[in-house]
Structures are given as C-alpha cells and as structure tokens.
Amino acid sequence: MGAPGLIPRAPENDSMPIYEYKCTSCGRVTTVLVQGYKDPEGLCCEACSSTGMKRVMSGANYHRSASDRLSSYDPASRLDDSFYRDTRNIGLHAEHMLKKAGVKPNDEFKAKLERIRTDPSSVIKDED
C-alpha cells in the first residue's frame, strides 16, 4: 500500500486527441488539437471564419498526430475545399487509417460510413 496522494501522474502531453470540426456554413473541416474533453474556445472556420463549428467524430482520429494524418493523405490533390465538400469523402480518412493499421472495417463501421455519406448531417453529433 503506498501513501495516499503519491500516485505518479501520467504525462499529459505525449498524445493529444485530435478532433475534426466541420463548418456549418461552408462545410470546411478544420482539424484541432483538443486539451481535455471540452471544445476549444474561440473555434472558428479557417476558411470563412464562421463560428458555427460542429465536432465530427470519424472514429480513427484519437491520438493521431497531425503528421501521421497528413502523411496518409495526398496533400497535393486532396486537401482542398472540394474534397471536404464531397460527402463521399467523409470517412475516407478513417478508412485509410484502418487499412494502414491492418484492421478490416467491420460491418457496423461500413454501415455507419454509408449512412454518413448519404446523410452527412447524421455525423455532426457525438456518438459515445
């Protein structure tokens, strides 16, 4: 039994959750490092500065570094507004990540993806 209050705390800054926020005005997705579980303050769209941002849960974003995410995309051709406006691209990132990790998406995941792509508004809420 150790003395109370002397439990070493895990370092907090080795991995930070990354969330994507989708602009409700222009549909642009902005990637944000989030400290804790609250939405960051002063969040606004990097394209149109709208503050109507909704968190998008795409499943595979947790604890991914920004560089990991970037290297999985082809930044030259994909990371523009039209890519994000195309609802067929929703979830593509998550799919890539699963593939990279050698994980086969299960039926539930695929069904979810399909639903999101046909009805993008269904993704704009947390699903915990």
Measured distance CA(33)–CA(10) in Å, rounded:
19
Q: Interacting stretch for Zn ion, rule CB under 5 A, among 38-46, 67-75, 81-89, 114-122?
A: 38-46
Task: In angstroms, give the least distance from the CB of 48 to Zn ion.
Answer: 3
Taking CB under 5 A as the criterion, the residue among 16, 32, 47, 92 binding Zn ion is: 47
Task: In angstroms, give the least distance from the CB of 124 to Zn ion.
Answer: 14
Pick left, alpha or beta for residue 5 (phi over 0 → left; psi -120 to 50 → alpha; otherwise beta). Answer: left
Q: Which is nearer to Zn ion, 53 or 94 (CB)?
A: 53
The stretches of the chain forming alpha helices (DSSP H) are 66-72, 81-85, 92-100, 107-118
Q: Which is nearer to Zn ion, 45 or 60 (CB)?
A: 45
Measured distance CA(122)–CA(82) in Å, rounded:
20
Q: What does the binding site for Zn ion look like in residue numbers (CB under 5 A)? A: 23, 25-26, 28, 45, 47-48, 50
